[in-house]
Structure 1
């Protein structure tokens, strides 16, 4: 299996890794915990170790390049800032170590958005799309006229920090009332007092009053933020991804209703769940790897 690249997608709770073929097929999938609680240096070491393990020669697998997707503000050469991990200006070389393969560093959500364009719903003739993974945190990949839009400084798509209730609960970014403080997987779980948001969804479906309140507030926060985004950017389609989107109809049905209710004078955009599921980020990291390989080949 030589026609693959190594790929790692770093999330706030877990890291996903494996080998990605040109058509997006994932081989040798592996999941490891992200040691966020142990500090930024420990996370960097864990990411570097994962990359090294995947690129090390092994029987039957010889990756051609490596792609790494991480959260925060990212350039090709630095992880400039990540509130999730406390990173500031971490050089790409810190993640790739002594790896002697073409390598590329990219933003996790933007990379997942590229995968959505290449393999998912966003690639089916829709030119203006918001791809919104809802996991440990929330950020969006903005697609305008068929192309990803990063903004003037690379900050476009920070939907998770739209203040839905300006005097609300504190967010890790330093603001109050951010969408992510109510609707991210971590926030939903913490506000109820369990480890995973899926447990809150299950309890809400069983009629638990407090779980229904926490989940209802999360859906309302999403509706408020997406109404704001819709009025500014006018997307034809909003694609939900990440672990929280696995709630399916428990999320999408009330969200569609509440979003429509927040847009009195215009129709709401279509809202769907990504068919790529939680693998979009890893597939996007694979695209980074293929791009790194093409760049090397193109310069030769």
Structure 2
């Protein structure tokens, strides 16, 4: 899949910020859907730091483009978001834990323009829909945790409690380890970046890159760890296929930077899951699976689309 947005998602020039625990990534999306400019800065922790970093990234984008950038700003953030009020309710990785942070109003007052705030995985799902041109899309994020963003009939599905797409907390092994959510054997304990780092720790580079490189080199232990990880991702894809039945399942997040080797591994595990089930095999889940193009700022682009 290339990084061109579907023509239906073209529109006015817009700005999106993806505020993460380590960095804030800002993009300017041109009217034709191309990325006109992008800036990354380390995220300062805490409520004041998050706002200050967002301000700095936005001003850097204005300087780089020489444009006023006076339209609505879209912002994607991890954690629980009250979209209607533009409030970040809980985001431990940002140092925002406890009191609600009225992020929309703070940024709108500081920048002098309207702001739309969205959960980062939901924002990425909008970009996934734009990349595939499909109205029924699941974006599966393999980040520190495991979560999915849902676009159904062209609209984001958040759920009345904001829990739609919390695929990482579906238990699949009653004898598995305790998950951070308090349940046991959740998908997140098998198929997240945190789970991969625990299973294949490394002091150099990214654990995902080290694992897949070692497996490709024939390391038997690495092959076993890789296959178990890909089974976990395939299990998440199976749940999404059976409950949502999307046209496309787009995989992104830090682990997904591995690219094609990860996709092949997950497709192989999906085929194994379907060996004893003609019904499951008939769903052809592997053929619906695509990866976010390497280096594509999916959450920031999605935030820009949300801003529109």
The answer, yes or no, to whether TM exceeds 0.5 is: yes
Tell me by how many angstroms 1:186 deviates.
3.0
* Partners of 2:234 and 2:270 within 8 A in 1: yes
* Partners of 1:164 and 1:179 within 8 A in 2: yes
What residue is the counterpart of 2:103 in the other structure?
92
| Distance across 2 between alignment mates of 1:282 and 1:130 | 17
Q: Deviations over 1:216-267 (max 9, x none)?
A: 2211111222222222222232111223222223211221122233241232
| 1:161 and 2:164 aligned | no
| 1:51 and 2:66 aligned | no
Change in CA separation of 1:53 and 1:32 when aligned onto 2, cut-off 3 Å:
closer
Q: CA RMSD in A?
A: 2.6
* Partners of 1:9 and 1:281 within 8 A in 2: yes
Q: Deviations over 1:88-139 (max 9, x none)?
A: 4322257626221211111111111111222x01x1xx44322212222221
| Distance across 2 between alignment mates of 1:235 and 1:6 | 28
| Distance across 1 between alignment mates of 2:111 and 2:245 | 43
Q: Equivalent residue of 2:146, what SS?
A: coil
| 1:69 and 2:76 aligned | yes
Change in CA separation of 1:53 and 1:213 when aligned onto 2, cut-off 3 Å:
same
Q: Equivalent residue of 2:101, what SS?
A: strand
What residue is the counterpart of 1:38 in the other structure?
none
What residue is the counterpart of 2:242 in the other structure?
231
What residue is the counterpart of 1:107 in the other structure?
119
Change in CA separation of 1:53 and 1:108 when aligned onto 2, cut-off 3 Å:
same
Tell me by how many angstroms 1:142 deviates.
1.5
Query: How many residues end up aligned between the 2 structures?
Result: 278
* Partners of 1:79 and 1:87 within 8 A in 2: no
What residue is the counterpart of 2:6 in the other structure?
none
| Distance across 2 between alignment mates of 1:198 and 1:14 | 20
Unaligned runs of 5+ in 2: 1-11
Change in CA separation of 1:53 and 1:84 when aligned onto 2, cut-off 3 Å:
closer
What residue is the counterpart of 2:38 in the other structure?
29
| 1:280 and 2:291 aligned | no
Q: Deviations over 1:129-165 (max 9, x none)?
A: 2221222222111222333222222211111222232
Q: Deviations over 1:13-58 (max 9, x none)?
A: 43212323233332342223446xxxxxx24333212221134364
Tell me by how many angstroms 1:178 deviates.
2.2
Change in CA separation of 1:22 and 1:133 when aligned onto 2, cut-off 3 Å:
farther
> Is 211-220 or 168-177 further displaced after alignment?
168-177
Q: 2:136 aligned to 128, 140, 143, which one?
A: 128
Q: 1:139 aligned to 147, 151, 173, which one?
A: 147
Change in CA separation of 1:94 and 1:191 when aligned onto 2, cut-off 3 Å:
farther
* Partners of 1:239 and 1:274 within 8 A in 2: yes
* Partners of 1:14 and 1:32 within 8 A in 2: yes
| 1:244 and 2:255 aligned | yes
TM-score (norm 2): 0.79
Q: Equivalent residue of 2:118, what SS?
A: strand
Unaligned runs of 5+ in 1: 36-41, 292-300
TM-score (norm 1): 0.81
Q: Equivalent residue of 1:7, what SS?
A: strand
| 1:8 and 2:20 aligned | no
